[in-house]
Each structure stands twice: as C-alpha cells, then as structure tokens.
Structure 1
Amino acid sequence: MVDRKPAWTGLGGVMVALAGAAQTRAVAGAVDARQFVARAAAWRRLFAGAPGQRWALYLDDTAEFAAALFGAWHAGKHVVLPGDTRPETLAALRGQSDGWAGELPDGLVPAAPGTDADAGPDTNWPVLATHDTWVTLFTSGSTGAPGAIDKRLAQLDAEVHTLQQAFGRHFGSETRVLCTVSHQHIYGLLFTVLWPLAAGRPLPAARLAFHEELVAACQEDGSAAVLVSSPAHLKRMPAGLDWPAVRGAVRAVFSSGGPLPPEAAADALRHLGQSPIEVFGSSETGGIAWRQRAVHADRWNALPGIAWRLQDGYLAVRSPHLADESWYVCADRALPAGDDSFVLGGRADRIVKIEEKRISLTQIEQSLAAWPGVREARVVMVELDVGMRVAAAVVLDDAGQAELAAQGRGAVTAALRRHLAAAIDPVALPRRWAFLPALPCNAQGKTTEAMLREVFRRTVPDVRWLASDAVSATATLHVAGDLAVFDGHFPGSPIVPGVAQVDWVMALAPQKLDVPPPQRFARLDTLKFQSVIRPDSDVHLALTWQADTRALGFRLTSDAGPHASGKIVFHPEAP
C-alpha cells in the first residue's frame, strides 16, 4: 500500500477543506470530518451571539478545543489561550478578555452533539483572513510573570509551513500524533492542532500524561506514530517498561520548551529508537532552529526561512513567524559554530537587587549546578520577614541523594552554602532550600516562577510515620529551617509559633486517624507549651483519638524534652 502525501490546505482553509471532506476522514480518534464540522459550527453560533471581542478559551480535549478555536475565529473573535487554570492565571485573565469559554469557571459551552439545541453541520465556511484573525498566547513565566503575546493567524500559518518544509518527511497520511504537551501553549498548539489540520492529518486522540500511557498506546496500535514531547517528559523515562513496542511504532520524536540534557537525549534514543528533534524558539519568536544531539551535538541549525546573526553577543533573528521583518534580539547568548549553525551560551542574566546589590540569579543556578551532587537547580525570589530573598530548589543526583540520606539535610545545605560562598555575595545565599525528586513543571515541561514559589510556601514539616492503629499514631517530624512558619518568629532566633504546632496536628492527624474535618473544630483543651522548637530539629509526635468525646490528644516531644501538648475538640456531626 502506498502511503499518499497528506493534502496541504494552510490554516485559513482548514474548515473549507473539512466541510468538503469525506465523512469517513478521521479528524481525531473517533471524531470524523462531519462531526468535527458540526461541532465547530455549534461553537461558531455560540461565539457569534456572545458580546465582546476577546474570548478566553480553555479545553483539555484536543478535538473539542480545535472545533472551539476555529468556531471562534470564524465568528470573528480574538481568542485568548491561558496556559492553565491556576488562580493567579485566572486573576490575570480577567484583564485580557471579555468573556470565558470552555472549562474556565462559568465558561460558555454549546449544547452537546445530538441535542435539540445542536443545529447540526454548517457548510458555509469562507477562507479565514489570516492577517485579521488573532490569538493571544502567554509566555511560560519561567523567568517571571507570564506575558501576553498577540499573534496573527498569518504568523502561525507561516510557522506550520516552516514545520512542514523542515519535518514533513516524517509523516505519511496514516501517521498518528502522540503527545505529552498541552495545546494551550504555542508548542502544543502548533504541533498537535494547527500543523496536523493544515496538513490534513488526524489530531492526537488525547494527551498522554504518563510513560505507561505512551507504551499502552503503542502496544494497542503499532501503526506509525510521531511523538510530540518535552524535556520534562523525556528526562524521566523508567527502564522497566515495554519500550520495544514504542520503538516499533515511533518514527520521530520532537522536544521543545527547554534544552534536553545530553544524557536525556541518549536515554530517549535508547528507549524510543529515535534521537529527539529539539526545536528551539519562544512564544515571542516562534521556532528558530533545530538539532538532533546524536547528529549535531550542541549545534543548532536554522529552520527554513529563518535568518540569524549575532548582535552584541546575543542571538538576533528575522523570521516570517514574527509580526514584521525587523530583527528580533533574543535574550540568549550565542556563538557561531560553522556551517551556518550556532551554539547557545545561556540566557541573559536575571538581575535582581537585594539590599541595593545587583545579584544574578542565573549565576546562582549555574554555581549550584556545578556542585558534584546536583543534577538540576532553579532559584526564585521569595518574600521573607527580612524582605525579598533567594530560595533554591535542588534536584540531587544519586551521589547527592546518598549524601542527603547519610549526612542529613542540614549538612547538605551547609555544603551548598559553602560552595556558593566562593562566588556569590553573602546577601544572595539562598535562605530557603527545597530538595525535590524533580523540578515542578507544567504541561509544556516548563518550570515557572509561580510553581517554584509554591514549593517554598511549605508550612508542614516532613513526616515519617512510625506506627498507627484506629485510635493512635506516632511519627517523627523533621522541622527544616526553611519552613515558612519561621518567617517573623523571630529574626536572629527563629522558633516555631504555637499556632503552627496546632496546625501541624490538624494537618497530619487525618493521614492516619478518622478525625473530623478542620471546619468542625470547636476548642482547644489543656493546651500547654513547655519549650520552644527550633529549626533543623527532629520532633516526636504522638496522637490519640477519643471518638466518644470527639477529642484529639497530641504531644510534641524531642530529646530536649516536652514541647507542647493538649486536646483538640470537635463539634458533633449535625443531625
């Protein structure tokens, strides 16, 4: 059987092509062309009747998202795509849009297919005016608050043409797209929605959140597939899965959103049978260059139609993906590498001021990464009682983890501080530390500042449960010095406030005992605070539950003696 080349329509004519396609043409999973057009028509009618120009859209289902997106564009709306539905994102979104649709709070959604309110397909789909059709995307916020970026459909159309020219050889008409990234960001939007639709290929049926889902998808259907992924996903590939099934199906692997470490690229080649095609770019610039480490090592090659040069040591590009023909200077340092390729020299320093001193957060991260036991490190500014200070999130390698287990958290943080002190001003030494199995990341594989700050809002100590039954439980609590409860209590001599100790009991008891929820709290009885709890100490917690009196007894002790004890009494259940 000869695998025909997919028909290219471009983004302006997507709905024209689908409206005229055979009903049996698959658009995504079990969704055929007729069903997709009908759903897009329902979204178009909904948006056409909605006031305002700028409408925010969030949907997890890829086919439904694509139908809503093109329905909104054909209704003349400017679509705003939030990257997630976190409270901070939604708060910022209110100033960016006139209304919300899809899975956003109180978002507009058309009637379900097949209901009386669903008027069925619509064959009137003019070609979109790509220069007058708009979408707003947001930067990842990996080095600050996410920024809104308006793009014409013409820019996105130029970019999918570029992708087809550079990588279309990896696709036949029957090639499936498997993805681990979200279409709410530019990388996922281009690779999993717009490029497939422009090229007449099916959309991915669903986003794969776990490696096991990728393996299962290839075991169930061994037909040719292309994987659209991210460094966050490719860096964490467990060895024990059925990778031969994946190698038999996957024809190419794409990665974007950040640099893929050499060892992760090698792991992907071993497990997936393909050296990942890394695509370098940003929300502002679109795609700029690409490489495969197995072929190009560190060198980046410009995508078709992209011009680049160095400007004061920084990479500058001119591209049809940009709003105009001007040169755009990136925040990335670069060096020429021959054969019209370049290597990156790192992002421009993120400079902050601490006590009137200019501090490079990039330098701190690079210094941390140079310590023998560190695999990855990111730093962020957090608000403490003494003002804004540096906090460090660190991922240790096997040797670092072994040292952490043997020496303890205090010894490892002290070693890291000594290591940093040789190159970093004392005022910039991290005040908060978090040792994580992996950096937090969003659906695009990006570690944002908001996600890092969330890590350092930790108020409850690490817990190791020792024993438990229906009426009692015991545990050891490690009270790390970087817990947020020490903020303001007290500078120079930090201690755990009494209210925080009670909060610990309320937070930890439900993990082992069938106690009422916190909102049924009635009072504290026989409460005593005998001695203070200081940072970097281990405390023994003992809990007892008396169901008849609805009282939770607790004691906090350590080698230094008793610290606190008392009873938390709960209101009875409502009749």
Structure 2
Amino acid sequence: MKTWAFQHFLFSKQILLIEANAKSLSFAEFWQGVADRACYLQTQSAPQFALWTEDSYLFLSWLWAGLIAEKTIILPPHRIAQLEQQFSEKNIVFIDEKYTVTQQEKTINTLVTDWSRVLQQALIFFTSGSTGQPKQIPRTLQQLLTEVVVLQDHFSLSEPYCMLASVSHQHIYGILFKVLLPLMSGQAFYRQQLAYPEQIIAAQQQLKALNRHHYLIASPALLKRCIGQFDFAGSPLIFSSGGKLDAGIRAYYPQTIVEVFGSSETGGIATQTQDHTSWQSLADVDIRLDDQQQLWVKTAHAYQQDWIATGDVAKLEAHGFELLGRSDRIIKLEEKRLSLDAIEYSIEQLSAVQQCYALLTQQGQRELLSVVVVLSPEMRQQLLALGKKAIVAQLKQQLSGQLESIAMPRRWRFMSQIPHNAQGKISRALMQSLFQPLVSPVVLTQQQQEEHFIYQLEFLPELACFAGHFANFPVYPGVGQIGFLVKFSPQLWMDFEFCTGYEQLKFQDLIRPYDILQLNLQRQDNKVIFQLDHVSGKRVASGRLLFNCKDKT
C-alpha cells in the first residue's frame, strides 16, 4: 500500500501552523484535532456538510475530519443566509466550530486504518461562477495530493518555509498552495488570510524574526493594486493565480513572480515566470489543440481522466504554448467579429486609464459594447469635477484613431477598481449587473468576523436613488441608505424576516456620486448595529435596525 508524505508527519513535533499572535501548532497537535473532529462527525446523521471559514487551521482540520468520517464535504464560495437556506433544504449542514468537540481517546492512527479509503473521498468545489452559474466540481483527495506531489517537484522550495496567502483557502489555488503543500512537505502555513498589504508586511516581519523562508500566494488583483506602494521584498518568490497577470506588473517587484495557469476542473496546468514567454506544462499534464485552437488538457490530477476543454485559445510553441485569450472573449457584433481583449488593450494604452473590462450588454432588443473603466488618479479627479459625459467624450476622442467605429464602446461605467469575487476573479454576472437598473451600491470587498461584517461600497452615479435628488447636486438620501441596509441584513442572518423599526438613527454627512464608504454591520440579538464611514474615517450615518426573527422552534 502506498505511503503518502503527510503520513510521515502524523506525530511530528515540527511546526505546521504559525499565528499572528506568535503562537504555533505542531503536526501532532493538528492531527489529534482532526481525530477529535472526525469522531464528532461520525456521530452526526447528516451525510453532507458545507465547510466555509476564514480560519485556515479550522478549515483544514474540519476538511480532513469530514473525509475521514466519510462525509461529503462541499466548499461553497461564501456563506450567506440565502445559501444556508438552500443547503438546509437539501439537508446540507454548515460545519460550525461552535459544535462541542471533546478530546477523544482515539489517535489518528487508531481512527484511520485504511488511508486509501479516505483518499478516495471527494470534495465538491464551486467554480467562481463568472458566468453567473457556478458549477460543482468533484475532486478526490487523492487527485489533490497527486497534484501537490507534482508541485513539490516543480518548485523545489527552500526549507524551512511558511506559506502566506492573500487568497482564500476555499478556492482550489488556495487549498493546494497554502495548506496542502506545507502539510505534505513537513512545512508551515500562516493561519490568518492576509487580505491587506499591511497585514502581509507584518507577517513577513514576524517570520523573518523566526528565521523562516516564506512565500506569498497572491492574486493578480492584489499585485496590481500594490504597484508603487508595496513590493513584499521579504518574500523571495510570489505565486499568482486566479486571473491574468497583466504584462509589466513583474517590473515593479524585485522577486520572481510565478504565474500559475489552471482551473477548478483541471487543477494546475502550467506556469510562467516572465512576461511574453511560453507557458511550461506541469510534469503530469498533456495538452493538445482542436481545430478552433482551443486548448485541451489531460492529467492524473484533474477531476476526470479524459481530455478537458479549457475554453482558452492557444498556440503551441517549441518549448511550451502561448495563451491567446478566452474563446468566449471573441464576440460577433452586427456581423463583425471583435476581440474584447483587444478592445481592452487599446483602452488601457490611454494614459488616463488604469484598467478596463469590456463586455456585451443588453439594452432592450439591442446588444451594446460596454466597458467598466478604472481611471488614473488624475483623471478620476477630473471625473469628479467635470462629470461622466465630459470624460467619456475625452476618451472617445483619444480612441478615435485606435478603434474602428463598431468597436467603440457605447456604454461606460467608471469605478475605483474592478470588483473581484472571493477567488480573486472578475464576475461577469456582476459586470452585467452594473448596466442594469442599480438599486444598491456596489460591494468592492467584504470581510467577516463571526457576527461582524465589513463592506467597502462604491456609490455609482447610475444608482436609482441619485435620480432627481437633486438635479444639479446629486445626494444619496437617508431613506435609500436604510433601504440597502434592510436588504443586506437578511442576506447575512437567515432568521431575520422583516425590519420592524429603527433606533438612534444619525445622518451626519452626505454621500455623493463615486463616493467609497465602509459599512460595518454587527448583530446583537434581533438588532443590527450599523456604521457608515467615508474612507477618510468621517462618519456618514449610524444607528440600529430592528428585525422580526423567525421562530426557531
């Protein structure tokens, strides 16, 4: 029977987990926690459990416990009230650390006598849902660990090391690189997800004091956002995946950035370490192109053993392959074939533009070429001063010699950043919604700590509440603020039925078009305490909302 690398560390006193408060956890302590949780889950009748937590230790411990207990483990993209309700109707229970888990007499080796049985258990991943229809992808534990072995050989990382991550372990990229790779290698990972660059810097300083190498698992969105501000020089290597790393970003960082190309279905496919060079396939990956130049992949670590279409257009080269874009990024508009990637590239060449996302949107019976644009700081100031119409006219004038008429965008949205989902990917469904009637501000980021939620919101001028309030000086009204707060709260807490009243409402400042605000929501019994602040810290509104709760009996 094959022995896997993780089995060598079941009772090891080596450190697996490092925390922000300088505490640590050994492999032996980790596996005992897994045994305790597995014993608990074996007493539960539910056959399927959903696992969502921001805590990487609890995530990995419950994941192994669930598979050892022969439960189906589902990894959803988030945990909101609506999803909990849908899962509850299907008898899928969310794992909760509040469960009473006591110390068991069984150790991991007495609990598990046949690891091959555990390795055949499947995890259910959700794709990022960029089309608005997330798919469920089953991957066995053996498939994941097979890929980890390939990654170990491919990268040959200096030891001892600790993995830091700005991305979520709920996604295939995060689970492989942040937690499973260290677990298989006898190395460590950092317990907290580091969503902000300041948190990454603090963790780097902590690990430097411990004389540990560390590697940063990041997203293209983070690396682009940190240009000129943070270079994370303490990490000798940065991994990037979950989306395209724009050419030129590497020049702002002193270390090598390894871009990893793959998907939830296939796992890792190939890596690239320099712009405009061939992608290098992983050792166990076979590739081919069909008649339409679409890339197909076959690998032992994918969710199926047959060939899988990636949806990417590629060109084979002597030492790898070149990615030419997504096949679904080629559109036909009025009988003319257009590349959305090429349109984005032309717009991003303008000095006034930092980033652009192009898409087709529906307006009545017509399909219109539309763009979401992030302006340079200087041009954004002009946007606030001159208004959207004047800026669109300027950009179209500059593009007149770059884009043919049919490729000129008809609809424009300006934002401070392109919103990404929890996996660091652009959601096409969200992009489409920006061109539909807007009734709530756009969520840029979201964080959760127990019953405390923190949103970063952007108030686009297209929001319905700005219309007519007022004609020459639009202001987002207080009733509109209460409206989206009442809408948000039942999505977070499933037992809320409807709002019954308000307490201590205070409106202290104005909300204008393109304002970016931070919203704090915290629950106390049947009340939601809210605070709405400008990014400068100036208070905009605060108060409490009262809700009628469902009878839990």
TM-score normalised by structure 1 residue count: 0.69
CA contact 1:37–1:121 (8 Å) conserved in 2: no
Contact preservation (8 Å) 2:119, 2:141: yes
Match of 1:183 in 2: 169
Residue 297 of structure 1, CA deviation: 3.3
1:278 correspondence with 2:272? no
Displacement, 1:282? Answer: 1.0
Is residue 230 of structure 1 aligned with residue 219 of structure 2? yes
Q: Structure 2: how far apart are the matches of 1:131 and 1:216?
A: 36
Question: Equivalent residues in 2 for 1:260-299 (5 A)?
Answer: 260-269=245-254, 274-293=255-274, 297-299=276-278
Other-structure match for 1:401 = 380
State the alpha-carbon separation in 2 of the partners of residues 423 and 349 from structure 1.
22
Partner Cα separation in structure 1 for residue 246 and residue 348 of structure 2: 13
- Say whether residues 1:51 and 2:32 are aligned partners: no
Match of 1:532 in 2: none
Alpha-carbon distance in structure 1 between the residues aligned to 2:330 and 2:324: 17
Cα gap change, 1:190/1:356 in structure 2, threshold over 3 Å: closer, same or farther?
Answer: same
- Counterpart of 2:158, as a letter, is F
Per mean C-alpha deviation after superposition, the further-off stretch among 282-291 and 126-135 is 126-135
Whose radius of gyration is greater, 1 or 2? 1
**What is the aligned counterpart of 2:410 among 407, 411, 429?**
429
* CA shift digits 1:439-484 (9 cap, x unpaired): 122343212234435656644899xxxxxxxxxxxxxxxx976334
| Matches for 1:3-42 after TM superposition, within 5 Å | 10=4, 14=6, 16-19=7-10, 21-22=11-12, 24-29=13-18, 30-42=24-36
CA contact (8 A) 1:266 1:275 kept: no
Q: Is the 8 A contact 2:257 2:273 kept in 1?
A: yes
What's the counterpart of residue 214 of structure 1?
200
Which residue of structure 1 aligns with residue 188 of structure 2?
202
| Partner in structure 2 of residue 253 of structure 1 | 238
Residues 393-416 of structure 1 show CA distances to partners (whole Å, capped at 9, x for unaligned) of 211235643653564321123445
Asked if residue 335 in structure 1 is aligned to residue 315 in structure 2, the reply is: yes
1:258 Cα shift? 1.3
> 2:479 maps to what in 1?
506
The question of whether the paired residues in 2 share the 8 Å contact of 1:82 and 1:93 is answered with: no
> Residue 508 of structure 2 aligns with which residue?
none
Q: Give the superposition deviation at 1:128.
A: 3.6
Equivalent runs, 1:127-146 vs 2, <5 Å: 127-129=115-117, 132-146=120-134
Name the SS for the 2:215 alignment partner.
strand
Distance of 1:56 and 1:381 partners within structure 2 = 35
Q: For residue 518 of structure 1, report the CA deviation from its aligned partner.
A: 9.9
Quote the Cα distance in structure 2 between the aligned partners of 1:314 and 1:387. Answer: 29
For residues 360 and 353 of structure 2, the distance between their equivalents in structure 1, rounded to whole angstroms, comes to 20
Deviation at 1:139, TM superposition (A): 1.2
* 8 Å CA contact 1:111, 1:118 repeated in 2: no
Matches within 5 A, 1:350-429: 350=329, 365=344, 368-369=347-348, 373-379=352-358, 392-398=371-377, 400-401=379-380, 403-404=382-383, 407-416=386-395, 419=399, 422-424=404-406, 429=410
Per-residue CA shift, 1:175-230, capped at 9, x if unaligned? 11111111100000100111211222122222111111111122233131111111
Q: 2: CA distance between counterparts of 1:518 and 1:507?
A: 17
Is there any run of 5+ residues in structure 1 with no aligned partner, and where? 1-7, 463-478, 487-493, 511-516, 522-535, 537-575
**Do 1:285 and 1:321's aligned partners in 2 also have CA atoms closer than 8 Å?**
yes
What is the CA–CA distance in structure 2 between the aligned matches of 1:41 and 1:392, rounded to whole Å?
Answer: 51
Is 1:100 the counterpart of 2:89 in the alignment?
A: no
Provide the residue aligned with 1:561 in structure 2: none
Give me the CA root mean square deviation: 4.2
Tell me which amino acid in the other structure corresponds to 2:247: P
1:319 aligns with 2:308: no
Unaligned runs of 5+ in 2: 19-23, 443-458, 484-498, 504-512, 514-553
> What is the CA-CA distance between 1:347 and the residue it aligns to?
0.4
Pair 1:278–1:362, CA change in 2 (3 A): closer
Distance in 2 between residues matched to 1:393 and 1:441, nearest whole Å: 13
Kept after mapping to 1: 8 A contact 2:46/2:93: no
What is the CA distance between 1:80 and its match in structure 2?
0.7
Q: 1:43 to 1:298 in 2, by over 3 A?
A: same
CA contact (8 A) 1:378 1:394 kept: yes
TM-superposed CA distance for 1:263, in Å, is: 2.4
Q: Percent identity?
A: 29
- How far does residue 156 in structure 1 lie from its aligned partner after superposition? 1.0
| Matching residue's letter, 1:424 | I
Match in the other structure for 1:471: none
Alpha-carbon distance, 1:334 to partner: 0.9
State the AA in 2 paired with 1:265: R
* 2:496 equivalent in structure 1: none
